[in-house]
Structure 1
Amino acid sequence: MQNGESTLAAGETSPAKKQVPEEITKQSFRHKVWRHLESNSLALFPRPVYNRIPNFKGANEAAAKLAELDVFKNATTIKVNPDKPQEPVRVLCLEQKKTLYVPVPRLQNGFLNRLELPEEENGQAAIKQAVSRKGMETFGKPIGIEESVSLDLVVMGSVAVSKEGYRIGKGRGYGDLEFGLMMHMKAIKPNTIVVTTVHDCQVFDTLPAELFGPHDVPIDIIVTPTEVIETQRMSQRPVGILWHLLSNRRLQLMPVLGQLRDIEMLAGRSCVLKEVDTDVEDRGTTRPRKLRRRTRSHKSHSEGEGNTTEGDDAKSGKPRRASRRRNSHKAAANTAAARDDGKRDERHRRPKRPKPVIDFSVKISNIGPNTRVRDLKQALSERGVKPQVMVWKGFRGFCYLHFFKPGPQKGEGDAAAGAASMAGVLAALAAMSLGGADDDKPRLLTVEPAPPRNAEANQEPVAVAQ
């Protein structure tokens, strides 16, 4: 993909012309890059690279070229995205004893992890394991949005970038949201450099400025396997999270956003969300589907040829009618057999068990950030409280206990649990305090009634209390 092609794809419009053809979108550039990497054997595992930050041949060379820059040598704290093409950069950070921060994938269970290797496990094998997807969870220490972090360098993954500093990600908005959260933490300083490592074919001379908004993060330096490009930075960095661009669904998927919104609202700041859920760009059809040709056996193919030629029909009319009769008899027999099988299945099908119905629910608040679900389960068990379902939101400081209506249950324990009452549970949990391993002192928990909720309709992660 040559730069000339990139300019042509961008439309070669004059700066005064603000309209962009409908077919020119961020997704069109993504698809161009993904298709080029796949069709020219430039893509590496995981494949296919569609809908990903693409891993490319030369990622190690690009990382090595980045390590030669003063911005990397002088940096002590670096944040690197968790995608595969930036894995070599994460390796270099740990090898050179730099403080490495990695975002939690998709921001589903937190925000940042600081990778810390034990002193006895600082070899190459341990580093390779630590920078993998599983290793980042094992060796990562969770960092909340209220903690103090100062970053010297930010390394982002990209699908397409331009020499003007415009960046296109994979379309889910994770990179932009991570940047906005880091701006809230004041981890990004005016002198913090933003770098991306990409293949040469992912670099465009220009991209339409009209495709980008105030939430898009601009790139300062582009590093490829063959060159280093200092961009012109045509746009400003986001100042934080732009709430009016997000829907409530996004907050449900990423609890850390809900936590930040609560903090902002308590400080008296406006955090109005958008009503229409369009904060994720419509992907459309990103990969052309290959139509699967229907194949026939040699016998059926021969019969088809005899039945589709007008001359053959005249010569062999009777065999044709006989063939149709055989097929109709065969189809009728198959239908009857299927009907009989359906009746047998209905006779042997077990009746469905009635689904449990929530009788009442209790909310427990003021849970410490270091408290684990097992700590609360043990405290509940000591007080004789056995909920059927626990919805754990400890990282946001609360959880829900759901108690089912009494009914025919198997076992005495289940029946006793089903017979629990709201007043009894509140009395048993009164003045309960709980602390995590790293807390200075236990916290007094707030226990209050919560509106009953349908356990099956609840889309939050649940843990069954044993």
Structure 2
Amino acid sequence: MQNGEETPAATETAKTPQPEEVTKQSFRIKVWRHLETNGLAMFPRPVYNRIPNFKGAQEAAVKLAELDVFKNANTVKVNPDKPQEPVRVLCLEQQKTLYVPVPRLQNGFLNRLVLPEGETGPTAIRKAVSRNGMETYGQPLSIEDSVSLDLVVMGSVAVSKEGYRIGKGRGYGDLEFGLMMHMKAIKPDTLVVTTVHDCQVFDTLPAELFGPHDVPVDIIVTPTQVIETQRMSQRPTGILWHLLSSRRIQQMPVLGQLREIEMLAGRACTLKEEDTDTEERREPRAPRAPRRQRRRTRSHKSHSEGEGNTTEGEDGKPKSRRPGRRRNSHKSASKDGKENDAKEQKPRRPRRPRPVIDFSVKISNISPTTRVRDLKQALTERGVKPQMMTWKGFRGFCYLHFYKSGPQKGEGDNIQAPNMDSVISALSQMCVGGTGEQTNEKPRLLTVEPAPPRTPHANTTEPPAAAAEVITNVALLGH
């Protein structure tokens, strides 16, 4: 290579698509994307970074309830995620002792769900198994309490017929299992079951992706089948401290309690030096005051300022201003009052020019049941980030608008806006389907074509209020 020129071999290598790296995350993304694009995902949406809720979760729970392992179980532990909510309902309906882990293990370990006396109907049960109900009706247990489980039900993102399980990537399910092993709540005959959609089941998963901390499953239940796995790996024997960082211990007090107990018993609990836990990190947000409270604060401030602006009369009593008349605080008593007023007035800020649209792309054949966020997700996956979108999905089309070429706000100086050819090429063969709960519609192949440049706020047949509803700022498509 001379003078910065690339050799033909280097050019050919750059054009050749590189094989996707095989990781747990690659399987997660494959499952999440399949559920979303094929209309199989259920609330909460989108299912990315979650134990995904799926169409048929109720049918899978009913199929699990038909198994002898469920009928004979008296004490059952079920994860708190949405797709396993029907399983929690069936446990309470059949008067089983139900244990649910504390979400993210932040404020404890296990909660035993106990219905209020006299409230055993369907409404009370569904309320108890909800996110708020599990906290309200849950009786907390510590790691020193005695618990014996007959069945463990876990949520999964992907599983294989060999028994390998992939969770959402934060390690909560594995840590919960390790804590239950410490409590001796898991017996040799305690089975681990998961309920998933059929598309989440793989014939095989790479064994090298799994370690001694990963919990294998014994039975996979889908809406259509029951699979008894071969269980190629052993269960974790407890908490593997050398895989945890001090930050993880600080986030979950129950782990700190267990570590103190273990160290007092003379057992080694050495943590890893580098903080390489695989769970997603999020910066904590400062809590915001409720909307009502913020409104009251503003009104109270205005009222205080109004009282402070009163003037005193000759009798020393406050003299309020007349309603409807504004006092000019900048008015001067001198003869040159007009000149002083002109000097004291602050210059107005110049209005920012409206961004000029370089080109627009029209997307047609959109299903009436398709949501804006479904299309945004599809655009993000293909690397297309328009600055503005005019959404008329109920009419079967929408427009993507791209600004004039130049550095974009918040991005590097060398990043330029895309051109029309690259956008149309990236969106070719894009399919988005209706994802409503009541539809079985398959994904539609969308039509992508150039559209004449235009300003979204101009030449519209919608009234101003309606036009504001269909103009959607899609800056959130950026990461």
Letter of the 1:43 counterpart: A
Letter of the 2:200 counterpart: Q
- 1:148-188 superposed Cα distances (whole Å, 9 cap, x missing partner): 00000000000000000000000000000000000000000
The change in CA–CA distance for 1:121 and 1:277 in structure 2 (over 3 A counts) is same
Q: Do 2:170 and 2:280's aligned partners in 1 also have CA atoms closer than 8 Å?
A: no
1:170 is matched with 168
- 1:98-149 superposed Cα distances (whole Å, 9 cap, x missing partner): 0000000000000000000022111100000000000000000000000000
Q: Does 1:288 align with 2:381?
A: yes
2:147 is matched with 149
* Cα drift, residue 296 of structure 1: 11
2:232 is matched with 234
Q: Does 1:34 align with 2:127?
A: no
Matches within 5 A, 1:105-254: 105-254=103-252
With the length of structure 2 as denominator, give the TM-score of the two structures. Answer: 0.56
Counterpart of 2:272 (choices 251, 271, 274) is 274
Letter of the 2:31 counterpart: V
Letter of the 2:71 counterpart: K
Counterpart of 1:75 (choices 63, 73, 88) is 73
Matches within 5 A, 1:295-374: none
Aligned to 1:276, what secondary structure does the other structure show?
coil
* Cα drift, residue 282 of structure 1: 6.6
Give the distance between the partners of 1:109 and 1:43, measured in 2 at CA: 30
Letter of the 1:239 counterpart: T
Q: Does 1:95 align with 2:93?
A: yes
Aligned to 1:142, what secondary structure does the other structure show?
strand
Q: Do 2:84 and 2:155's aligned partners in 1 also have CA atoms closer than 8 Å?
A: yes
Q: Do 2:161 and 2:230's aligned partners in 1 also have CA atoms closer than 8 Å?
A: yes
Give the distance between the partners of 2:389 and 2:246, measured in 1 at CA: 51
Q: Do 2:100 and 2:113's aligned partners in 1 also have CA atoms closer than 8 Å?
A: yes
Aligned to 1:55, what secondary structure does the other structure show?
coil
Letter of the 1:86 counterpart: Q
1:265 is matched with 263
Give the distance between the partners of 1:142 and 1:53, measured in 2 at CA: 23
Matches within 5 A, 1:375-390: none
Give the distance between the partners of 2:104 and 2:278, measured in 1 at CA: 13
More helix as a share of residues: 1
Q: Which runs of 5+ in 2 are unaligned?
A: 1-18, 282-376, 391-401, 406-479
- 1:27-52 superposed Cα distances (whole Å, 9 cap, x missing partner): 00000000000000000000000000
Aligned to 1:196, what secondary structure does the other structure show?
strand
Q: Identity of counterpart residues, as a percentage?
A: 81
- 1:262-299 superposed Cα distances (whole Å, 9 cap, x missing partner): 0000000000000111122579x9973753324699xx
Give the distance between the partners of 1:241 and 1:250, measured in 2 at CA: 13
Give the distance between the partners of 2:247 and 2:68, measured in 1 at CA: 41
Give the distance between the partners of 2:388 and 2:262, measured in 1 at CA: 62
Give the distance between the partners of 1:261 and 1:161, measured in 2 at CA: 31
2:446 is matched with none
The change in CA–CA distance for 1:226 and 1:262 in structure 2 (over 3 A counts) is same
2:9 is matched with none
Give the distance between the partners of 2:388 and 2:114, measured in 1 at CA: 56
Counterpart of 1:64 (choices 50, 54, 62) is 62
With the length of structure 1 as denominator, give the TM-score of the two structures. Answer: 0.58
Q: Do 2:151 and 2:190's aligned partners in 1 also have CA atoms closer than 8 Å?
A: yes
**CA-based RMSD:** 2.4
